Structure 1
Amino acid sequence: MSGLIGRKVGMTSIYDENGKNIPCTVIQAGPCVVTQVRTKEVDGYEALQLGFDDKAEKHSTKAANGHFKKAGTSSKKRVVEFKYFEEKYNLGDELTVELFEEGEFVDVSGTSKGKGFNGVVKRHGFGGVGQATHGQHNRLRAPGSIGAASYPARVFKGMKMAGRLGGDKVKVQNLRVLKVVKDKNLLVVKGAVPGHKNSYLIIEK
């Protein structure tokens, strides 16, 4: 799938032709540089490795710096491989937001915001004991019994309990591209995408 690495700029809203207010996310998509071309003969599969967002050479290893110099580019903070790219590109080619068109649909993946340790109400949507609103004292937001007894004498994996929430890889599919601002490499998509402001995203066609 063709795609680019990007950065979440933030959220805003725009009006459509009918005057309806549409919430949308602004993404800086690219420019990305082709840092490696994978081939079946050498690597056993075909893919394009793209690099995004410059960083100082002193903050990268010598091996990584040499890898980027082969492509004739500076060291990059983010490197991602894309399989099944629609078009052929060569080492050192630059890909911009022009890869996308207004009206098409894209998949956006990133790391969701970490929310720390949370209880079952926020983490799993529990509503308290018996959904009761009165007479429960301090049991209202508690998980209740988890059902373990002499068998199985342990807690099954995957049990809905309190724990860490967020910080997971999340993909949101079929987001419509509302605008493509070519001169600033900005992509405006309908709806929300995972992650905080300035977090890295992968946008796939």
Structure 2
Amino acid sequence: MDVKALDLGEDNSLLLVDDDEPFLKRLAKAMEKRGFSVETAGSVVAGKAISTARPPAYAVIDLRLEDGNGLDVVETLRERRPDSRIVVLTGYGAIATAVAAVKIGATDYLSKPADANDIINALLQTGDELPPPPENPMSADRVRWEHIQRIYELCDRNVSETARRLNMHRRTLQRILAKRSPK
């Protein structure tokens, strides 16, 4: 696939924050090919330090990092540079938190795995027009699994309370939680 550089304007600075090093390196390389000036961070502490010292025009921040919550980086960046375009990446069971990220200042959020094109579409989206539908939307099984994970997290990972709220047998819920997420 031929990758062309985008017209990003005067400030093409991009901060990538993720603790998955192979993913971080691949994404940084893909974004550099598209014309971004990329800085990477593997932790909340490093992300906040870069956001404070050199607040970028664009940021892609993982929600769950080994040393804390990516929302802390979003807040720091939003304070230092209110016009920054921020996309939050979220893994399993964290869509409710991603919505919270949008409320505190993220431009958008994407479920992992997200490719460079999906991320660029979210970063460069302007106005109220809706972004194009994803090339690979979540399956119905995945949407169900995400919903169950969200309720489970909101119930402080209490299986009995989650089962009650979902009107589901506790053993059935335990079997679902023990399985890997569907594609």
Question: Do Structure 1 and Structure 2 share a fold, with TM-score over 0.5?
Answer: no
Normalised to the residue count of structure 1, the TM-score between the two structures is 0.18
Larger-Rg structure:
1
Q: Give the structure with the larger strand fraction.
A: 1
Normalised to the residue count of structure 2, the TM-score between the two structures is 0.20
Q: Give the structure with the larger helix fraction.
A: 2
